[in-house]
Amino acid sequence: MAGTASEIDLDAYCERIGYRGPRVATLPVLRELQRLHPQAIAFENVDPFLGRPVRLDLPSLEDKLVRSRRGGYCFEQNMLFWKVLSGLGFQVSGLAARVLWNYPEGAVNPRSHMLLRVELEGATWLADVGFGGLTQTAPLRLGTGAAQETPHEAYRIVEEGDHWRLQAEIGGEWRSIFRFDMVEHLEVDYAATNYFLSANPASHFVTGLLAARALPGRRLSMRNDRLTIHEAGKLSRQKHFDSGGQLRASLAAEFGIDVPEPERFDERFRALGFGESRG
């Protein structure tokens, strides 16, 4: 399987996520990188929300997610992670998934999510640092069908004919996140879907605001003007924002996101009716 050779600045990336361990292609290293990445680099769609382009070339990804300390959505997150893992010597290839989260079990959606396949120590692992509020915080081994613990939820990968279904244990029940197969995707294969999701006026990445971060013992999730805090063993808490300025302040404080074009952001907040009556 082809990886992606790159000239990624591993020093800058490791500093960005706070990784200080060995730089070798082993399972402990993969686990630690996947634990730290979602803590430091938030999932967010601020650029599509503001009508700004989403670029997947390495210089753009490093400038945005590493040096400018922004976040991104699945294509940005997992493309960067692909480059990092390849730079460390991991055997990596790209996959695509049909999202099932918040859809009926039998739904057939387009392949709109990017994830990674890692061949390591005689096994196949799924690595995914870009699925919003349910982003994995540990790699998952393919082929067991059993529950796999992570620093957050438990997951399992269920084989169904010619594809697999990723599920998470939420509130005591298994809920499907997406379905995928082993058809390899190259970097160029993600370009059309990335453009569609980031520029189509009907895309939910254009019509609404999303952000997520996986911190020790809790998850933060922003949807439009509502922040939800999920803590292990506790009831979830919510906070609503009445202005673009309040929302931008929360994105900075909770997600580490310095919103570009603040005036444009505030205009979008008002135009979409954020902060209005929620009855």
Catalytic residue set: 74, 113, 128
Q: What is the DSSP letter of 222?
A: E
Contacts for 234 with CB less than 8 Å, ≥ 6 apart:
none
Q: Which residues of 184-201 are buried (b: 16+ CB within 10 A; e: fewer)?
A: ebebeebeebbeebbeee
In what helix (H) or strand (E) does residue 213 lie, and over which residues does it extend?
strand 210-215
Instruction: State the pairing for strand pair 173-180/163-170.
Output: antiparallel
CA gap 224, 269 in Å, rounded: 8
C-alpha torsion sign, points 108, 203, 48, 250: negative
Q: Say if CB 151 and CB 116 are below 8 A apart.
A: no
Kindly report each contact of residues 235-244 with a partner whose C-beta sits within 8 Å and lies 24 or more positions away, as own/partner. 240/275, 240/278, 241/274, 241/275, 242/275, 243/269, 243/275, 244/268, 244/269, 244/270, 244/274
Q: Say if CB 193 and CB 78 are below 8 A apart.
A: no
In what helix (H) or strand (E) does residue 223 lie, and over which residues does it extend?
strand 218-223
Q: Quick count: other Cβ atoms within 10 Å of Cβ 182? A: 13
